[in-house]
Amino acid sequence: MDGQGVLREIVALLAAGDVAGAASRCQARLGSDPGDVNLVALLGAIRLQQGEVADAERLLRRAITLAPDFAKPHEDLGALCLQQDRPAEAVECYRHAARLDPAAAGAYLGLATALSRCGRHAQAAQARQRFLEHSPTARMLTEAAGLCDGGELERAAELCGEILIREPANTRAMCLLARVSSARGRHAAAEALLRRVLGIAPQYWLGHRDLARLLAEQSRFHEAVDCYREAMAHNARDAGLPLELADTLALLGRAREALAAYQACLALDPERVPALLGCAHMLRILGRRADALAAYRGAIERQPAAGDAWWSLATLQDGSFADQDRRTMRALLDADDIDSGARTSLCFALARDAEARGRYAEAWTFYRRGNAARRAEVSYDPVENEQQTDARIRLFDRDLLQHPAGARTDAPVPVFIVGLPRSGSTLIEQILASHGDVSGCGELPYVTMMAARLAAEHAGESEYRAALAALTPDELRALGDEYLQLTSHHRPAAARWFTDKMPANFAHIGLIHLMLPQAIIIDARRNALDTCLANYRQLFAQGKNHSYDLQELGEYYLQYERLMKHWDEVLPGRVLRVRYEDVVNDVEAEVRRLLAHCGLPFEAACLDFHRSERAVNTASSEQVRRPIYSSAVGYWHHYAAELDDLREILESGTGAAGNAVPPVAG
């Protein structure tokens, strides 16, 4: 076979994703024809793709020596220099390639990246424009990306398809098509595309990053972590990668690793405020209060309008703000150019400041303003929520719940702590996690995720109920095993008992009962007015969209209590109710009762829960690091004059759609 035939064969192997085969064929041919510059240059590019940088550089420089006017080896050497963090050398390589071949679009793209890394942004923009001028494919990809951003997914997919017909190995087109597929909810197709990209280009960091994002969207956080680390191995300069890794580690509850990743981001970009805030949040979770306070202050120094930092300071520090801080916040609140999220955070921070000074009327003014602003930004339908409660009560009746999965005496025992936020669930978890046999895992998303998936697979109430009723004990057990596998990344293998304190799991007690018969379920309950007020006073990071309007809060509380009453009726004795006020009044008696229900022996460490050094990732992280206190009991009396309408809703026992509900006990 002549040289051109061999070259075509190697290119075909590369197009099929057989990089090792292409390298082997190239090497064999060079054994008999070592001066074939096309093969020398091609093997250099292949070695770069395989990560064998030293050999790649040797081959590319040899190709340049053999044929100084051959543009492609200069371009590939530029890519190598970029990969090795040698952007100034890369600039010269790419410029040489562009001079030799003015139509080489890839040289202009590489030049733009290299110039940007050198801080020469105006020149980088010019190079990027030249790239677009010389690459019809690039123009189509730019158009497709714009269509995707604008929600025109079908047309974006068509353009990607047109590119891939001409260029089947175009990794950028495949990544964009994966993004389109993900936006359409076709996660399996998106994942297959991204894994194909990485099969063709294992060192393509954007492919690893996009796969990490896709996995994280599906709550496959532990897999996403591995992908982010792989992306960072191939691009050590992008500060966004350790930031996204840190956010994912934080979701997994791996606070120390997340802190290290946020710090890695700051080492690359010391001014990146989200990383500064992330560091502060992790320090707070780890109980390093003074360091957290300093980190929040650092974020404010760099971005005075960082509302999240002000709100976090308000909830972390003891007492009120200094006069200068208060003046700064008020000035920011009145500024025209501050964004709505920061404005809301400042309102809540100023409300907490006023509370700390005993100025409750002033605090209420800020709470009302902040909640109104947040409510205008979120979506919540109280009628839809009540209809969902109706549906759950119809679906999970005694007949459906009488055949759970077979019990497993050797399986881990999840302890679900459910209820409404700010009802004492973090205190209960801290007590349990202080026991030597229990691992505290915080709020885990997996039951909600599994319930949503099952509902989506069987659209409609009757189909969903029929599907659940048709599941055999072995199939239900498989669902439980899936949950245990997902949660295994949050807990040590040695811990038999572990907590999952996602409050919203109260809606899924029926599913929990069916798939995890060994599970313990605890309902954290608190005085209704105190609960609703505590939610209204809390600016949640996300979700809890019912908490920004007092009427909707009251109606949501009624639906929660109504559903819990249903579980008590159809699963008598299955749920242990622990009242916050009872824990405050007699902590030892309640701790003994709680441990006995979980099948755990009493340990005195559970009474000294505040001494635990475990990470706590909730709004109550500071409270559970103090001995039990009673000041939160009856806190609603400070705002009694403002709560008449809420009290009336709670006492009426009537929800948004007019369904009668038993009144809430005080």
pLDDT, residue 625, reads: 47
**HEC profile of 269-281:** CCCCHHHHHHHHH
pLDDT band at 508 (very low <50, low <70, confident <90, very high): very high
The per-residue pLDDT for 203 is 84
Q: What is the pLDDT of residues 138-161, one digit of tens each?
A: 788 888 888 888 888 888 898 888
What's the mean pLDDT when you consider all of the chain?
88
Percent of the chain at pLDDT > 70 equals 95
Residue 68, Cα to own-chain centre: how many angstroms?
Answer: 50
Whether residues 131 and 193 share a domain: the answer is no
Please tell me the total count of domains within the chain.
3
Residue 168 domain-assigned (yes or no): no
101 Cβ neighbours under 8 A, 6+ residues apart: 71, 72, 107
The verdict on residue 171 lying in a domain is no
Picking from 499, 501, 524, 503, the residue whose alpha carbon sits closest to that of residue 575 is: 524
Higher per-residue pLDDT: 147 or 459: 147
Q: Do residue 337 and residue 246 come from a single domain?
A: yes
CATH of the domain at 458: 3.40.50.300
Q: Is 657 part of any domain? A: no
Position 170 scores a pLDDT of: 86
pLDDT higher for 230 or 664?
A: 230
Residue 527 lies in a domain: yes
Domain assignment present for 147? no
Establish if 163 belongs to a structural domain. no
> How remote is the C-alpha of 94 from its chain's centroid?
38
Q: Could you read off the pLDDT of 437-451 as tens digits, one per residue? A: 999 998 998 999 899
- The pLDDT assigned to 147 comes to 84
pLDDT score for 658: 42
Q: Which helix (H) or strand (E) holds 521?
A: strand 520-525
Confidence at residue 128, expressed as pLDDT on a 0 to 100 scale: 83
| Domain-ending residue, one of 137, 167, 200 | 137
Residues 438-462 as b or e (16 or more Cβ within 10 Å = b):
bbbbbbbbbbbebbeebbeebeeee
pLDDT at 664: 42
Q: In whole angstroms, give the CA distance from residue 517 to residue 515.
A: 6
Same domain, 304 and 233: yes
**Residue 2: predicted pLDDT:** 64
Q: Which of 182-196, 374-388, 601-615 has the lowest mean pLDDT?
A: 601-615
* SS3 label, residue 499: strand
The average pLDDT across 463-467 equals 83
> Do 511 and 647 fall within a single domain?
yes
Q: pTM score, two decimals?
A: 0.76
pLDDT of residue 528: 94
Of 202-216, 357-371, 374-388, 453-467, the one with minimum mean pLDDT is 453-467
Does residue 339 sit in the same domain as residue 454?
no
Note the pLDDT tens digit of each residue in 232-265. 998 888 899 999 999 999 988 889 999 999 999 9
pLDDT of residue 511: 95
361 pLDDT tier (thresholds 50, 70, 90):
very high
- Identify whether residues 459 and 596 lie together within a single domain: yes
Question: Minimum mean pLDDT among 212-226, 284-298, 407-421, 606-620: which range?
Answer: 606-620
Give the model's confidence band at 666: pLDDT under 50 very low, under 70 low, under 90 confident, else very high: very low
- pLDDT (tens digit, 9 = 90+) per residue, 298-350? 999 999 999 999 999 998 887 789 999 999 999 999 888 888 999 999 999 99
Whether 349 and 421 map to the same domain: the answer is no
Token duo for residue 455: 């509902």
The domain boundary, picked from 88, 105, 137, lies at 137
Average pLDDT over residues 539-548: 90
Residue 143 lies in a domain: no
What is the domain extent for residue 220? Answer: 178-375
Burial code (b: 16+ CB inside 10 Å, e: under 16) for 294-331 equals ebbebbbeebbbbbbbbbbbbbbbeebbeeebbebbee
Domain check: are 49 and 7 in the same one? Answer: yes
Residues 110, 202 within the same domain? no
Q: Which CATH number do you get for residue 9?
A: 1.25.40.10
Examine the pLDDT at 602 and tell me if it is beyond 90.
yes
| The last residue of a domain, from among 313, 345, 375 | 375
pLDDT attached to residue 193: 92
pLDDT of 660 strictly over 50: no
Find, among 630, 632, 576, 628, the residue nearest to 607 by Cα. Answer: 628
Does the residue 144 lie in any domain? Answer: no
In contact, 482 and 447? CB cutoff 8 Å: no
Cα 88 from Cα 557, distance rounded (Å): 62
pLDDT higher than 80, residue 97 = yes
Instruction: Say yes or no: 309 and 395 in one domain.
Output: no
Q: Which of 246-260, 464-478, 509-523, 570-584 has the lowest mean pLDDT?
A: 464-478
pLDDT tens profile 102-146? 878 788 888 988 998 898 989 988 888 888 777 778 788 888 888
Question: 221-234 vs 205-217: helix axis angle to the nearest 10?
Answer: 170
Q: Whose structure tokens read 């006073």?
A: 537
Distances (CA, A) of 201 to 16, 48, 195, 515: 11, 10, 10, 41
Residues 124 and 237 in one domain: no
The residue-averaged pLDDT of 59-84 equals 91
Per-residue pLDDT, averaged over 367-394, amounts to 93
pLDDT bucket at 657, cuts 50 / 70 / 90: very low
- Tell whether the model's pLDDT for residue 614 goes beyond 60: no
Same domain, 346 and 388: no
Query: What percentage of the chain has pLDDT greater than the value 90?
Result: 57
* Residue 8: half-sphere exposure toward Cβ, Cα within 13 Å: 5
Max mean pLDDT among 449-463, 586-600, 647-661 falls in 586-600
